Chain A
Amino acid sequence: MEIVASGAARRYPRPMGKASFFEAVRPVDLTLRGGEMTVLTGRSGSGKTTLLTMLAGLLKPSAGTVSLDGLDIYAMPDAELSRLRARRFAVVPQVAAPIMSLNVMENILFPAALAEKAPPVRRAEALMQSLDILSLRGAMPAELSGGELRRMAIVRALAAEPDFVFADEPTADLDDENTAVVFSLLREAAERGAAVLTVTHESDAYVYAHHVWQMSAGMLTQD
C-alpha cells in the first residue's frame, strides 16, 4: 500500500506576466508507504502544502503523476477519486474547516458516514479524550476556539482509521502538551498500518517520523 509521486510538479501562471509561471513544486519523486510516518518541513512558501494536496488527490499536478498502488489517481473520474478520498484518505487541512451545521461529534463521524462505514463512536471518544475535547462533543463549531477546532479536525481525520493521513501543520494552534499528543497519535496511526504525511515547522515531530523531508523553493531534499 503506497502512494508514489513521480516527477510531480505544480506551477501557476503569474497574474501580471505573459507566459510566465511560478514553480510551486518542481518535479518531485516521493513514496509514502503504509506503516510509515513521513514529516515534511521547510520554510513558508516552499511548496509543502502544494505537494501535500497533490498527494492527497486534491490538486492535479501540472506534470508527472501521483499513483496509488500503481494506479494514477488523477486519471480517475472525479466521482471515483472522491470515493477513494472518502474511503481511504484523511486530510487535516491547514485551516480548520468544520461543517458549520454539524456539532463536534457529528463532524467527527461524518467522514465514516460518507465512506459508508459504521460510525466509529468508541474510537472517536477515545481520541477526543486524548485531545481533551470529549466534553465538547455536543458543541457547535462556532462555539469552539481555534485550538479546539484544530483538535476536532485531527480526531475527524483519525477516527475512521484511514489508509492514508495527510496532516498540514496539525499543531499550529496547539500548546506543547497537545502538540506531543497529536504527533504520538499520528505515529500510532502509522504503526497501525497507515501511511502518514505531516507538514510541520515543529522540530519535535522528527522523533516520531520514519522519514523527514525538507522542501526549499519547490524542491525536495531528504534530511
Chain B
Amino acid sequence: MTLRRLPVRNLLRRPGRTAALTVVVAFLALSLFAGTVLVRSLNSGLESLENRLGADLIVVPATSRGKIDPEKIYLQGTTGYYYMDAAKLEQIRAIDGVVRASGQVYLASLRADCCSVPIQVIGFDPGTDFTIQPWISQRLRSELGFMDLVVGCRVNSAVGESIRIYGQSCPVVARLDATGTGLDTAVYCTAETMAALLEAAKDMNHELKIDGDPADVVSAIYVKTAPGEAERVAAKILKMRRPKVTVIQAKTVTSGVEASLQGVTRTIKVMIVCVWALAVILLTAAFTLLGGERRREFAALRVLGLSRWQLAGVALREALYVSLLGAFIGIGLGLLFLIPFAGLIESALNLPYLTPGWRTMLWLAGLTALTVCVVGPLTAMVSARRLSRPDISAILREGS
C-alpha cells in the first residue's frame, strides 16, 4: 500500500459519496460541453448562412409579397411557386452599382404522386450564379449536366442514385456539405434542367401560374452590389414597373436570424454560468463538509509523517479523480445528446445549426475536461488547506 494509491482507496471506501460528487462534476462537464457545442453550432450555422447567401439583395415578384418569407427559404427550405419574367434580370443588371445578378427558379415537389421524394428544387444559371456555384464546386469538379442533380446533405439520396421529379429521372451527381439551414434539404440543378422540369410539371397538370415559356421565368434574382450601394440599388429596383417586385435586403435575413441567435446564445451562456456557479458552490461545500468529517483521519496521517503538501496532495488527487470521471461521463452524455439529436435541436430552435466536425468536438471535449479537472481540485483546495494545518494535538485528544 503506497501513498499514491490512498486517494483511490478513499474514494472506493465511500461509493455513495464518490458517486454524488461525480454526478455534480458530470453535470458541470455536461453543461459546459453541451452549452459550448450548442453556441458554436449556432454561430457556425449563421456563418454558413451568410456564406451561402452571398448576395446583398434578393428580388422576388411583388405579387408574392406576404407569401415569401426569406427566412423560411433559408432556414426551413420552403421555396414555393412564384415566378416572374426573366427579362427583369437584364433590367437589374443594367442598374449602376450592380456588380452581379443571377436568377434562380424554385419548384417544390410536394405531391407524392409526381415524384419519388418530396423535395425543393432550385434551378440556377451556372454561367452567372455566384451563390450556389461556389458551394457546389467544393464537391463537384466537373460541370453540372442537363438533368443532373446536386443534393443537400439531408436529402435521402446517394450519389449514383436517381430521383424521379414530375416523371423525369434525374441522376444525383454530388452531395453537398452541411450548412445547418434549409438549403440542406434542397436539390440543385441548372436553369435548363429546371425549364424541363417545369415543362414536365405543366404536362402533369401541376398548377404553376407561369405565363409563357417556362425557360423565360425566374423565381428570385440574387444581386451583388458595389460596397455601400445596396440601398440605392434597392430603391432603383423598386421604382421599376412591369413586373412589380419586392426587394429583400439579405442582411435583413441574417440580422433577423442573428437577433434570435443572440437571444438563444445569451440564454445558454447565462445557464452555463448559473450551472457553474451552483456546481462550484456545491463542490466547495461538499469538499469542506467531507474535510470536517475526516479531520481525525487527516490528523492521523500527519502523525504518521505526511507533510502538509502531501496531505493536500491526497485531498487534491481525490478531487482530481472525481473530476476526471465526472468529465468523462458528462462529455459522453453530451455527445450522446448532441450528435444523434442535432436535427431535432435544429428544428426546435428554428435557427441555422451546424454541428462542429469531430476534430472540433474533440478539442472542445479536451478543453471541457481540462477546465473541469482544474475547477474540481480548486474547489477542494480550501478544504485541503484547512486540513493540512490542523491542531493535531487537539484532534487526537479524547473527545475532540
Contacts and interface: CB of A to CB of B under 8 A. Distances in A.
Nearest to A79: B307
Main secondary structure of the interface of B (DSSP, over half): helix
A59 B392 contact: yes
B20 interface: no
A184 B397 CA distance: 24
A106 B201 CA distance: 84
Interface residues of B, number: 29
Contacts, number: 88
Given A58-B303, A91-B303, A101 B9 contact: yes
Interface stretch (B76-84, B131-139, B159-167, B294-302): B294-302
A114 B10 CA distance: 17
B294 to A, nearest CB: 8
Interface stretch (A82-90, A122-130, A190-198, A206-214): A82-90
Contacts of B310: 82
Given A101-B6, A101-B12, A114-B306, A109 B1 contact: yes
A84 B305 CA distance: 7
Contact of B300 (A49, A87, A89, A98): A98
Given A100-B13, A106-B1, A113-B2, A95 B307 contact: no
A95 B397 contact: yes
A82 B303 CA distance: 8
A167 B304 CA distance: 13
B9 to A, nearest CB: 4
Interface of B: 1-3, 6, 9-10, 12-13, 296-297, 299-310, 391-393, 396-398, 400
Ranked nearest first, the 6 interchain pairs of A and B with the lowest CB-CB distance are: A86-B305, A97-B300, A82-B307, A53-B393, A93-B396, A101-B13
28 contacts: A49-B393, A50-B393, A53-B393, A56-B303, A58-B302, A58-B303, A58-B393, A78-B307, A79-B307, A79-B309, A82-B310, A83-B305, A84-B305, A85-B304, A91-B304, A93-B303, A94-B396, A95-B296, A95-B400, A97-B300, A98-B300, A99-B297, A101-B10, A101-B12, A102-B1, A113-B3, A114-B3, A172-B398
Interface of A: 49-50, 53, 56, 58-59, 78-79, 82-87, 89, 91, 93-95, 97-102, 106, 109-111, 113-115, 168, 172
